[in-house]
Structure 1
C-alpha cells in the first residue's frame, strides 16, 4: 500500500513540474522570437527556458506547435476582434476597431506579426479551412464597410497586408514608442475613409496576409514547421 501511495502522490507533483516547464518554455519562446524571429533555433528557446531540448520537444513536437501556443492568446484576440467587427452595426467602426486591435497586438508582442502570418500553414487541411473562413469573413467586413460608405471604394484586401507591414516596420524600429504607433495607425485609417478618396490610387499590390515578408526570419528564411 505504501508503494502505491507514493506513486499516487508523486503524480500531481510531476504534473505541476510539467505545467511550470511548459509556461517557462512559452515565456522564453516569446522573448526569443521577439529578438530573433520565429525561425530562431529551438535549442535557443530551451536554453532561455532553462530546460532540456528533449523537454521542449515533449511539450511542443514542432516549431508550429510552439509558435501557436506562444501566441494563442493573441490569435484568439484577433479572431474575437473579427467576430466583433462583423457584429457591429456600424461596419466602418467595426473595421477600424479590428485594425486598431491587431496593431495593438503587434505593439504588445514583437514576435507576433510573423506568428500572425504563419498561424494557419497550408500543409494542414483543417487549418487551411479555418484560415479561408477568416479570409472570407474579412472580405465580407470590407465589402460591408464599403457599402455603408465608410471605407473607400477602391480599398483592396491586399491594402490591409500593406498596412500591417508598414506598422510592423515601425514597431520593429521603435518598439517602445506607442505614440508613434498610434499616430501612424490613425493616419492610415483616416486615409482609408471614403472622403479621403480624392484621386485614383495606383494598382493594388499582390500581397496577401499569407505572403507577407514578416513570415521570414532574420536571415530571410521563411519559418518552417520543425
Structure 2
C-alpha cells in the first residue's frame, strides 16, 4: 500500500524530477551498502592487525576507494568508535549475564575466560580494553565505564561468596587484561593465554 502510494506520487512528478528522485534513491542505497561494507571490513582488519591497521587495506577489502572511506568516516577515530561501540556493548552484556549466574565463582571464571578469549581473537578489542586513548569519545567512554562497573559487580559477587580473594580489585582485573593482551601479541602458540589464565585463576581462588 505504501509502495503503491509512493509510486502514484512519483508518477505525478515531471519526468526530469522522477529521474533525479530515482538517482538520489540509488545513491542512498549505495551509501548504505558502502558503509556496511566498510564496517564489516574494518571489524576484520582491526581484529587481525590492531587499532593501527592500514585504512587502505580496509577500503580495499570493502571494495571502495579511500575517498569513500573518508567520506563516511572522516578519521581513524571515527571508524574505530563506530566499529567497537558494538563490541563494548557486548562486553556489558557479558558482565550482565555473569551477574545473573546462580554460582558467583563460576560466573567470575566464565566471565574472565570469555573476556580473555575475545582478546585472543580480536587484537583491536584487546588493545581498546587497555588503552585510555579513546576516553574522550563520549559513547565509547560511557560503554567502557558501564563495562567496568558491571565487571566490578561480577568480582564482588565472587568475593561475597567467599570464593575470590578479598584483595582482588578492578585494577587487578585491568592488569590481567593487559597481561593477556601481551601474551596474545607475543606468544608463538595461539592458546598460550589459556595456560596463563588457568594459573591465575588457581591463585585467585580461596579454596
Shorter-chain TM-score bucket reads 0.7 to 0.9
Aligned to 2:5: none
Aligned to 1:60: 73
Aligned to 1:194: 206
What is the rounded CA distance, in whole Å, between the counterparts of 1:164 and 1:99 in structure 2?
9
Aligned to 1:183: 195
What is the rounded CA distance, in whole Å, between the counterparts of 1:55 and 1:6 in structure 2?
24
The equivalences for 1:49-128 within 5 A come to: 49-118=62-131, 121-124=134-137, 128=141
What is the rounded CA distance, in whole Å, between the counterparts of 2:187 and 2:22 in structure 1?
50
What is the rounded CA distance, in whole Å, between the counterparts of 1:76 and 1:130 in structure 2?
6
What is the rounded CA distance, in whole Å, between the counterparts of 2:88 and 2:126 in structure 1?
10
Q: CA RMSD in A?
A: 2.9
- Secondary structure (helix, strand or coil) at the match of 1:111 reads helix
Q: 1:177 to 1:42 in 2, by over 3 A?
A: closer
Report the alpha carbon displacement of residue 41 of structure 1 after superposing the two structures with TM.
5.5
Kindly tell me the number of residue pairs found equivalent between the two proteins: 194
Aligned to 1:21: 34
Report the alpha carbon displacement of residue 30 of structure 1 after superposing the two structures with TM.
3.5
Q: Normalising by the residue count of structure 1, what TM-score does the alignment of the two structures yield?
A: 0.70
More helix by share: 2
- Secondary structure (helix, strand or coil) at the match of 1:100 reads helix
Q: Normalising by the residue count of structure 2, what TM-score does the alignment of the two structures yield?
A: 0.75
User: Which residue, out of 17, 20, 24, partners 1:7?
Assistant: 20
Aligned to 1:158: 171
Q: Deviations over 1:153-206 (max 9, x none)?
A: 22122221222122222222348724x3333333322221112xxxxxxxxxxx
Unaligned runs of 5+ in 1: 196-226
Report the alpha carbon displacement of residue 40 of structure 1 after superposing the two structures with TM.
4.2
- Secondary structure (helix, strand or coil) at the match of 1:154 reads coil
Unaligned runs of 5+ in 2: 1-13
Work out whether residues 74 and 105 of structure 1, in 8 Å CA contact, stay in contact via their aligned partners in 2.
Answer: no
Q: 1:125 to 1:2 in 2, by over 3 A?
A: closer
What is the rounded CA distance, in whole Å, between the counterparts of 2:197 and 2:77 in structure 1?
29
What is the rounded CA distance, in whole Å, between the counterparts of 1:117 and 1:7 in structure 2?
49
What is the rounded CA distance, in whole Å, between the counterparts of 2:39 and 2:123 in structure 1?
14
Q: 1:186 to 1:160 in 2, by over 3 A?
A: same
- Secondary structure (helix, strand or coil) at the match of 2:163 reads coil
Work out whether residues 91 and 145 of structure 1, in 8 Å CA contact, stay in contact via their aligned partners in 2.
Answer: yes
